[in-house]
Amino acid sequence: MPFDPNRLVNPLLLTLKPYQPGKPIKECQRELGLTDFIKLASNENPLGTSSHVTGQLSQVFPEISLYPDGSAFELKKALAEFNKVKEAQLILGNGSEDVLKMLIQTFVSDNHQILISQYAFVAYKILAQGLGIEVKETPAKNYGIDLDAIIKAVTSITRMIIFANPNNPTGTYVNHQSLVEFMNKLSQDILVVCDEAYLEYVTAKDYPQTLALLKQYPNLIITRTFSKAYGLAGLRVGYGIADERIIDLVNRVRQPFNVNHLAQVAAKLALEDQDFVKNSIQINEHGKKQLSEGFSKLGLTFLPTQGNFFAIEIPVTDVDVFQALLRQGIIIRPLAPYKMENFFRITIGTPSQNEACLKALKTILQKEKVV
Ligand SMILES: *Cc1c(COP(=O)(O)O)cnc(C)c1O
């Protein structure tokens, strides 16, 4: 028989498509021959990185010939103080996706199942199926997670539930009361992972105070990241907060040097500069208003958001909106991988980036005579 790796592969992988990241600026420059691009495709911080980080990071360059501190003592200490939790309640990852992967590896084996919602962040499915774990998807309600549908879908093989709050790509959120009621209905033998990647941007007053719930619900796990409001997406640092018995188990699958030295130093510095985070939130609030008013003027509908991005519907038939915007130097994210036809995700940028995006959209819509 001829060699065929498809016969050897983990069968769950055959149904997966590789994760499609936001199109990098350099790739756009190579392919389109334009020099100026505005990337509103990956929910990165439009202010870049705090100068408190960039100004000092070079001082540790001479140390990169040494292995990083595998226990990340300094960063963990800072995070424990910041979140008012014990260091033993923290696990660090090479991005929060690494934390999610470790959680699945630790607790879910191939005779168990993970529940996620329709329109959940696609990385969950890729991570789980890559580890040979089946994922069951429950229907969404108004594009948001339907916690009742999740409860109904629980069976004896359900081991973990993962959801982002607010969710990417829809921007929808679950409030405190609903989360508490949900946790009360659920057996503590089912772990609930609440991915709070966009926590800093949330303005809703009834957003869950998950840290306060950890004592009462030891099966609750929180993940957070330095990739968004902290402006460190390229360095890859995220973390999980949970009951220390959970963390102790997860530590057994952690690669000893999973968070590199520069990332550890940068994350600690980034945490120190809360003014930068405040600024980022302000810019986001301004942009949220600017874009929502602009979209409405163009007659476009969008989902209300608690994040730094909008899911917007652009019902244009004859033009590939993504490509047309790319030709005008704007990179956004089509939501076809989520089966949200005609929907796109646009990251909230600086005022001038938002203006450029609205202008480019207007040009496309005028050509289409939709406006
Ligand atoms: C961006 C994002 C993350 C962050 O992932 P990192 O690995 O920490 O960069 C996590 N979850 C969701 C839902 C996101 O959108």
pLDDT digits (tens, 9 = 90+) for 23-80: 899 898 898 888 889 999 999 999 999 999 999 999 999 999 999 999 999 999 999 9
Residue to mutate (ligand 1; options 42, 91, 97, 201; most atoms within 8 A of CB): 97
What's the average model confidence in pLDDT over 123-140?
A: 96
158 has which bridge partners?
A: 113
Euclidean distance between CA atoms 214 and 369, whole angstroms: 53
Closest listed residue to residue 113, CA positions, set 186, 179, 162, 146:
162
Q: What average pLDDT does the segment 330-358 reach?
A: 96
Q: Which helix (H) or strand (E) holds 150?
A: helix 147-153
Ligand 1 site, residue 238, Cβ cutoff 6 A: yes
- Mean local confidence (pLDDT), 130-159: 97
Out of 126, 168, 172, 333, give the residue to mutate to test ligand 1, the one with the largest number of ligand atoms within 8 Å of its CB: 168
Closest residue by Cα to atom 7, ligand 1, is 95
Q: Return the SS3 of 227.
A: coil
- Strand order in 343-347's β-sheet? 301-302, 309-313, 343-347, 333-334
| pLDDT class of 12 with cuts at 50, 70, 90 | confident
Q: How far apart (Å, rounded) are the C-alpha atoms in residues 310 and 4?
A: 43
**pLDDT one-digit tens code per residue, 66-102:** 999 999 999 999 999 999 999 999 999 999 999 999 9
Question: What is the percentage of the chain residues whose pLDDT exceeds 90?
Answer: 89
225 close to ligand 1 (CB < 6 Angstrom) = yes
Q: Give whole-number Cα distances, 115 to 133, 149, 156, 191, in Å.
A: 11, 10, 12, 10
DSSP label of 164: E
Q: 225 pLDDT exceeds 80? A: yes
Which residue's CA is the nearest one to ligand 1's atom 10? Answer: 197
Confidence of residue 154 (pLDDT cuts 50, 70, 90): very high
* DSSP output for 78-123: HHHHHHT--GGGEEEESSHHHHHHHHHHHH--TTSEEEEETT--TH
pLDDT band at 11 (very low <50, low <70, confident <90, very high): confident
Mean pLDDT of the chain: 95
Average pLDDT over residues 323-348: 94
- Percentage of the residues of the chain whose pLDDT score is greater than 70: 99
Retrieve residue 130's tokens.
Answer: 């890559």
Indicate the pLDDT class of residue 369, thresholds 50, 70 and 90.
low
What integer pLDDT is reported at residue 370 of this predicted model? 53
Cα 110 to averaged position of ligand 1 atoms, centre (Å):
25
Residue from 286, 231, 295 nearest 43 by CA: 231
Mutation test of ligand 1: which of 227, 236, 258 has the most ligand atoms closer than 8 Å to its C-beta? 227
Residue nearest to atom 14 of ligand 1 (CA): 197
Q: Is the pLDDT of residue 298 over 70?
A: yes
